[in-house]
Amino acid sequence: MLVGAHVSPAGGLWRAVERGSALGAKSIQIFNQSPRQWRPTSYSEEDFERFDTALGESEIGAVLIHAVYLVNCASDDPDIRAKSLTSLTHSLRVGDRMGAHCVVVHPGSAKTGHVGDAIKRAGEVFAAALADSERCPLHLENTAGAGGTLGRSFDELAALRDAGGAHERLGICLDSCHLFASGYDIRTPQGLAGVLDDCERAVGQGRVGSLHLNDSQTPLGSQRDRHANIGQGELGLEGARAFVNEPRFARLPCVLETPGPDRTGPTAEEVALVIGLMG
């Protein structure tokens, strides 16, 4: 498993590699633009070349891009859907150039509308973004939340995959906090193994391609997405230990998105703690 952290690319893409290396990370995740703005960041060839050099000199084995929070591919608002497609396509193209492991995206929300129609709309956007990019996979992140949030169950993730044409580049990112808050008890190796069996039956073997490791501030089945630092939430250290030692996760990048002690993100100590739980 490539344990790592979400880091900032402020100052240049290569800075994300520097920040990840300082944490002892073997994988990193970045936003390729401001997470709360539609305007894409334009990168020059020099930006990419400096990133390539920094990555080649590091021990980081995988780079993930997280699509911006504004993206809602399931929206019934054509303008929001169009902006989501533009943003997601841009992220995938940046991922193509960076050689990224994947772009991770929240599947979206039906809000108060019909879930089946929302899944169809989201799938159309996923398929269009993949068709307009070349190599980078797109991973749908399982979610937690109330209302019309999509992707809280494996059946919904499977429906989203099918709506996207079951594209070979369309995979799944599993988030530990979201699983737990959605009612999947993954606190023990046996519990996690059973949950993964259910996941594979729904979405297919080999579709899970990336991981987020976060503890949960809220209890099992709360439907509330509230990340906690590792070992300081409802999952606890034993839940984290089960997650990082699951055999089917052995070769995957596993990114921490925890708030950290001062809410600036994972620390080197936390990354080392998780690495120490392995084996």
Write out the CATH class of domain 2-7+22-39+60-277: alpha beta
pLDDT tens track for 37-71: 999 999 999 999 999 999 999 999 999 999 999 99
* Segment 98-135, tens digit of pLDDT: 999 999 999 999 998 999 999 999 999 999 999 999 99
Q: Domain ranges in the chain? A: 2-7+22-39+60-277
pLDDT tens figures, 257-267: 999 998 899 99
Q: Which helix (H) or strand (E) holds 92?
A: helix 78-98
User: Helix 236-244 and helix 268-277: axis angle, to 10°?
Assistant: 70
Q: What is the pLDDT of residues 63-94, one digit of tens each?
A: 999 999 999 999 999 999 999 999 999 999 99
pLDDT for 112: 86
pLDDT score, position 146 = 81
